[in-house]
Amino acid sequence: MIIFKKEKEVIELIEKHADKMEECLAIATDTLQAYLKNDISKAKKLARQTDNVETQADMIRHEIRDKLYYGAYMPLLREDIYKLVESIDKVANFTEECCDFFLNQRPKIPDEFKSDFSVIIKASLGVGGPLKHSVMCYLKGLCPVEVSRQHAKDIGLIESKVDVLEWDLTKKIFSSDLDYSHKLHLRLCLDRIVEVSDRAEDSADQLELVTLKSMI
């Protein structure tokens, strides 16, 4: 169909962008898991891949911005769409930063905490799939608006579960016999990991706002 060609192109680009975000999170998960297994060379290789995918996501975001501000969608909708895209992009950005943090600062994860870190990495960085699903469900009209909103709320639930894991691990770290500086460093690692699901929750909130305007 010729009408709304630009608008449909924007939706396709947002899907591509969400794909990249999901890919970025998946590779980052492997990066951090490799780091936990002390396979630093593999982790470095994967971290570079994460950077590349994040850069690709940025390029797509720029393309979306250009298309939007060259006339796709009405100004009233344009701003909301771009804010949503930006919020998704931040998830990928924080994921990249998380990998960079581990590989630049090389925190020493004691063996007794490795399984806990592994669980929290999977939980926090595993949010990419549900986020992409909820966004595309709304943008492509794959499900009713109410269902899209429920998907967005589910991301909030994932973030809450990550918070619980974070709380437990923080307690465990600070009640251990490690040096205080080491404890603080591990705490920083934890902050970086949970930041990803926090940003995903922000993105889901933005999605909820957009869907709210479509609730009739």
Partner 1 sequence: MGAGAYVGWNIGANDTANCIGTSVGCGLIRFKQAVALVAIFATLGAVLQGDHVMKTIGKGIVKEDLDYIAIFVALLCSGFFVTLATFFKIPVSTSQAIVGGVMGIGFAMRAKIDYFRFITIAESWIVCPLLVMALAFVLYHLLLFILKSIRISTLLVQNALGWMAILSSCYVAYAMGANNAGNAVGPIANLGIVNPTILLSIGGVSIAVGAATYGKKVADTVGKGITPLDIPGALIAQVSSAFGMHLFSIMGIPVSTSSAIVGAVVGVGLVKGAKAISKKTILTILLGWILTPCSAAAASYVMYKAIKLIFS
Q: How far is the CB of 90 from partner 1 (least distance, A)?
A: 21
Indicate the burial class of 74 (C-beta count within 10 angstroms; 0-12, 13-18, 19 or more): exposed
Residue 2 sits in the site that holds partner 1 (CB under 8 A): no
Q: How far is the CB of 145 from partner 1 (least distance, A)?
A: 6
- Identity of the residue, 161 or 213, whose beta carbon is nearer to partner 1 in the bound complex: 213
Residues touching partner 1, count (CB under 8 A): 20
Query: How far is the C-alpha of 39 from the C-alpha of 31, rounded, in Å?
Result: 9
Choices 32-40, 60-68, 119-127, 134-142; region in contact with partner 1 by CB under 8 A: 134-142
Q: How far is the CB of 178 from partner 1 (least distance, A)?
A: 50
Q: How far is the CB of 132 from partner 1 (least distance, A)?
A: 16
Residue 11 sits in the site that holds partner 1 (CB under 8 A): yes
Residue from 73, 102, 113, 117 binding partner 1 (CB under 8 A)? 73
What does the per-residue mask of binding to partner 1 show for 78-97, with x meaning CB under 8 A?
---x----------------
Residue from 62, 144, 168, 184 binding partner 1 (CB under 8 A)? 144
Residue 140 sits in the site that holds partner 1 (CB under 8 A): yes
Residue 147 sits in the site that holds partner 1 (CB under 8 A): no
Residue from 71, 115, 141, 188 binding partner 1 (CB under 8 A)? 141
The two three-digit tokens of residue 145, written as one number: 């608006």
56-62 CB contacts, 8 Å cutoff, 24+ apart:
56/20, 57/17, 57/20, 57/21, 57/24, 57/89, 57/92, 58/89, 60/13, 60/16, 60/17, 60/20, 61/17, 61/85, 61/86, 61/89
Residue from 5, 106, 171, 213 binding partner 1 (CB under 8 A)? 213
Binding site for partner 1 (CB under 8 A): 4, 7-8, 11, 73-74, 76-77, 81, 138-142, 144-145, 211, 213-214, 216
